[in-house]
Structure 1
Amino acid sequence: MAKMQANQMRAGMVIEFEGARYTILKQNIMIPGKGAAVIQVEMRNVKTGAKKDQRWRTADTVERLTTEDKEFTYSYTDGTNLVLMDPESFEQTMVPQDILGDRLPYLQENMTVNVKLIEGEPVSMDLPETIVLEVVEADPVVKGQTASSSYKPAVMSNGVKVMVPPFITAGEKIVVKTADGTYYERAK
Structure 2
Amino acid sequence: MPKINGNEIRPGNILEHNGGLWTAVKVDHVKPGKGGAFAQVEMRNLRNGSKLNERFRSADKVERVRLEQKDQQFLYETDGQLVFMDSETFEQIELPAEILGERRPFLQDGMTVQVEYYENEALSAALPQKVVCRVVETEPVVKGQTAANSFKPAVLDNGIKVMVPPFVGSDEEIVVNTETMEYAERA
TM-score, structure 2 normalization: 0.78
Q: How does 1:61-72 map to 2 (within 5 A)?
A: 63-72=63-72
Listed as ranges, the matches of 1:38-187 within 5 Å are: 41=42, 43=44, 45-48=45-48, 50-52=49-51, 54=53, 63-140=63-140, 145-187=145-187
Work out the CA distance in 1 between the residues paired with 2:43 and 2:137.
32
Given that 1:23 and 1:124 are in contact with CA atoms closer than 8 Å, whether structure 2 keeps it comes out as no
**Residue in 2 that maps onto 1:19:** 19
Q: Secondary structure at the match of 1:47?
A: coil
- In 1, distance between residues paired with 2:135 and 2:61? 44
Query: For residues 114 and 131 of structure 1, what CA distance do their matches in structure 2 show?
Result: 14
Equivalent pair of 1:23/1:123 in contact (CA under 8 Å): no
Aligned-partner residue type, residue 80 of structure 1: G
Structure 1 counterpart of 2:11, from 5, 9, 12: 9
Gapped regions of structure 1 (runs ≥ 5): none
Paired residues, number: 179
Whole-angstrom distance in 1 between the partners of 2:159 and 2:50? 24
Contact 1:147/1:165 (<8 A) preserved: no
Any idea what the Cα deviations from partners look like across 1:140-182, whole Å, max 9, x if unmatched?
A: 3568642413211111111111111111111100001111211
| Aligned residue identity for 1:124 | S
Give 5+ residue unaligned stretches, structure 2. Answer: none
Report how far residue 42 of structure 1 moved: 6.6
Q: One-letter code of the match for 1:47?
A: R
Judge conservation of contact 2:74–2:111 (CA < 8 Å) in 1.
Answer: yes
In 2: Cα distance, 1:156 partner to 1:42 partner: 34
Q: 1:58 offset after TM fit, Å?
A: 11
Question: How much has 1:114 moved relative to structure 2?
Answer: 1.0
Distance 2:184 2:40 in 1: 28
Q: SS where residue 102 of structure 2 aligns?
A: helix
> TM-score normalised to the size of structure 1?
0.77
